């Protein structure tokens, strides 16, 4: 099964993806984590994306698509992929659909975590204090949220039209949100 965890920055996608990995043996494909690893490694691609991420903008589609493509065999060898932070625009979603189709797969479910903006800002401010991720500073966070509404949220009708979208209230505790995601997954054929 291939699942997309969808939602604005700070909605809990990464936290819930890690839990699903632990519970279900799926592979988390987080383009944000992959890009941060490239920056930490000091690779040419990492150097290219660092200022873009620091500004809170989206990096070029070709880069994230390449990262996902590299990891696809690993996901296929296990129980499937949890896409976290990818796709982030309609062009990426179309490439992902084509990539999966060519491999005989598909996106089975898109879980959108809904959290209001005030709560997101509070969570990201806390994470910035705890982890010091540079793009979590309040100014950059506003740019990231702007990119989400302008470029990523238009994906909701894309998946709604395919009858794959399930909205889950992401305002609760980690355990409550986990329970709601599990309930959505239960509706999927085995
Ligand atoms: P995230 O950890 O998913 O919030 O991603 C952190 C940053 O990495 C984003 O603000 C973007 O600059 C970049 N990024 C991550 N995933 C993508 C993607 N699918 N498309 C474009 N940029 C991305």
Q: Note the pLDDT of residue 155.
A: 97
Helix, strand and coil percent figures for the chain, each rounded to 5 = 60, 10, 25
Question: What is the reported pTM?
Answer: 0.96
Task: List, run by run, the mean pLDDT of 10-residue segments along the chain (190 residues).
Answer: 96 96 93 98 98 98 98 90 98 97 95 97 94 94 97 97 96 96 86
Q: Could you write out the DSSP letters of every residue in 112-139? A: EEE--HHHHHHHHHHHHHHH--GGGSHH
Close Cβ partners of 173 (under 8 Å, ≥ 6 residues apart): none
Mutational pocket test of ligand 1: of 13, 15, 35, the residue with most ligand atoms within 8 Å of the beta carbon: 35
Q: Note the pLDDT of residue 188.
A: 80
Ligand 1: centre distance to CA 53 (Å): 7
Q: Note the pLDDT of residue 52.
A: 98
58 CB within 6 A, ligand 1: yes
Q: Note the pLDDT of residue 189.
A: 72
Q: Note the pLDDT of residue 190.
A: 63
Q: Sheet containing 109-114: give its strands across.
A: 27-30, 81-84, 3-6, 109-114, 165-169
Mutational pocket test of ligand 1: of 7, 31, 38, the residue with most ligand atoms within 8 Å of the beta carbon: 31
């Amino acid at each position: 099964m291939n699942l997309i965890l969808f939602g604005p920055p700070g909605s809990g996608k990464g936290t819930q993806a890690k839990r699903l990995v632990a519970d279900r043996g799926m592979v988390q494909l987080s383009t944000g984590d992959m890009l941060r690893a490239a920056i930490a490694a000091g690779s040419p691609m990492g150097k290219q994306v660092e200022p873009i991420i620091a500004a809170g903008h989206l990096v070029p589609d070709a880069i994230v698509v390449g990262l996902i493509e590299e990891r696809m065999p690993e996901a296929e060898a296990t129980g499937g992929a949890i896409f976290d932070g990818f796709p982030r625009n309609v062009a990426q979603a179309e490439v992902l659909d084509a990539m999966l189709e060519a491999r005989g797969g598909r996106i089975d479910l898109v879980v959108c975590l809904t959290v209001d903006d005030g709560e997101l800002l509070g969570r990201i401010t806390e994470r910035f204090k705890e982890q010091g991720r540079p793009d979590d500073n309040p100014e950059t966070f506003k740019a990231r949220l702007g990119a989400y509404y302008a470029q990523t949220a238009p994906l909701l009708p894309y998946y709604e039209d395919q009858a794959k979208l399930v909205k889950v209230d992401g305002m609760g505790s980690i355990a409550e949100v986990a329970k709601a995601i599990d309930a959505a997954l239960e509706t999927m054929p085995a």
